[in-house]
Amino acid sequence: MEPSYPGSRNIIREALRLGQIPESAYEICLASVRSSTLKQYNSGLKAWWIFCTTSKISLFSPSIPNVLKFLCIHFEKGASYGTLNSYRSAIAQVLGPSIAQDFRVKRFFQGVYQLRPSKPKYTNTWGPSIVLNFVKKLNNDHITLEYLTYKLAILLALTTGQRVQTLSLIDTKNIFQSEKGVEIKITDKIKTSGKNAFQPILTLPFYKEDISVCVATTLICYLGRTKVFRSNDVKYSKLLLTFKKPIHNATAQTISRWIKKLMKESGVDITKFTPHTTRHASTSAAFKKGITFDTIRSAAGWSANSKTFAVFYNRPIKNLSSFAQAVLEYTEFLSIKCIFLIYNIFFIQYRFK
């Protein structure tokens, strides 16, 4: 009976051992690979483990031709360029980064791109006004806690351009109110956290032109409504809490469901657009309004050299025959202005903790 797959973590640990890394340094080295990355690489490493076991070749020191044979097998099964690239990155965890620099591997991936080029998931996106026009009808003082939670979640997503993961990490002790608005420090590790990366500070000004879509006002109202659940209990330290018993800090997955629900009720096609597209919608709208790339990049949490926005997020806004014409309409102008007043006036930037 063949041995079972040992898991990505154990495979990487064995690669460290074979690389003559001292046993005392194993855990430190493994800490360099985040759990989310291990999860992402798991399928690739499992496929590589099966291939090596079946072909009776070394898992940790194969020849480049064998690596290419493995990649070809999955290409013929229909794997996309992105999937194959992920497999290559997974294998590099045990073979070392030199695999990506081999001219034969480079040539292979150039060919894959020509034969099966990557395509963006979205060719267009939805305009933020479709949600904001719906949210305007939700009066903070009269709606249920459930809908106040939905409203705050989607306003935060749109007005900050941040990932849902970041929103789930907002801690009440890091929220500071002033005459101008609300400032939120993100101190926990996020996707873009790194050795030389700044942690984000989210600045939410009071939007006096229309309080019904003011995210700072909504946040303060939400804190007041949920104060009874918090007291001094650290279990409820995060900003966003679930509204059904047992009440607890909301996870990123829960917040995504909330945003999706409000997107659907607003009229966004959720069969096509996921909650993550709030980043597409807000950043694309900001770009169309003339907000600089650097400001958008800083607000959404991309690095200084990142091409993510240009490649994956800058999309035409769906159902707008003429953006200029839409801006002249009160509802569109008000919505877009609400979202990006933050960027244009307060310049949300990454700062030191």
Residue 202: name the closest of 349, 353, 34 by CA.
Answer: 349
State how far the Cα of 24 lies from the Cα of 8, in Å rounded to an integer. Answer: 20
Q: What is the structure's pLDDT at 214?
A: 87
Q: Could you state, in chain order, the average pLDDT of each consecutive group of 10 residues for the chain (353 residues)?
A: 80 90 89 84 94 93 94 94 92 90 94 84 66 88 94 87 86 91 82 61 82 90 90 77 89 93 88 75 50 41 39 37 30 45 41 40
Q: Where in the chain is the domain with CATH 1.10.150.130?
A: 8-115
Residue 203: name the closest of 221, 186, 182 by CA.
Answer: 182
Q: What is the structure's pLDDT at 65?
A: 95
Angle at 97 between CA 16 and CA 14, to 5 degrees: 15
Do the Cβ atoms of 347 and 295 come closer than 8 Å? Answer: yes
Query: What residue has token string 């933050």?
Result: 342
CA 342 to chain centre: 20
Q: b/e map of 53-87 (b: 16 or more CB within 10 Å)?
A: eeeeeebeebeeeebbebbeebbeeebebebbbbb
Q: What is the structure's pLDDT at 48?
A: 95
How many residues are there in the chain? Answer: 353
| Half-sphere exposure (Cβ direction) of 95: Cα atoms closer than 13 Å | 23
Q: What is the structure's pLDDT at 232?
A: 63
Residue 216: name the closest of 184, 252, 248 by CA.
Answer: 184
In CATH, the architecture of 8-115 is Orthogonal Bundle (1.10)
Question: Strand (E) positions, the chain?
Answer: 175-177, 181-185, 199-205, 350-351
Q: What is the structure's pLDDT at 120?
A: 64
State how far the Cα of 206 lies from the Cα of 87, in Å rounded to an integer. Answer: 47
State how far the Cα of 227 lies from the Cα of 248, in Å rounded to an integer. Answer: 13
Q: What is the structure's pLDDT at 281?
A: 66
Q: Answer whether CATH 3.40.50.280 is correct for domain 129-351.
A: no
Q: Where in the chain is the domain with CATH 1.10.443.10?
A: 129-351
Residue 259: name the closest of 154, 336, 329, 342 by CA.
Answer: 154
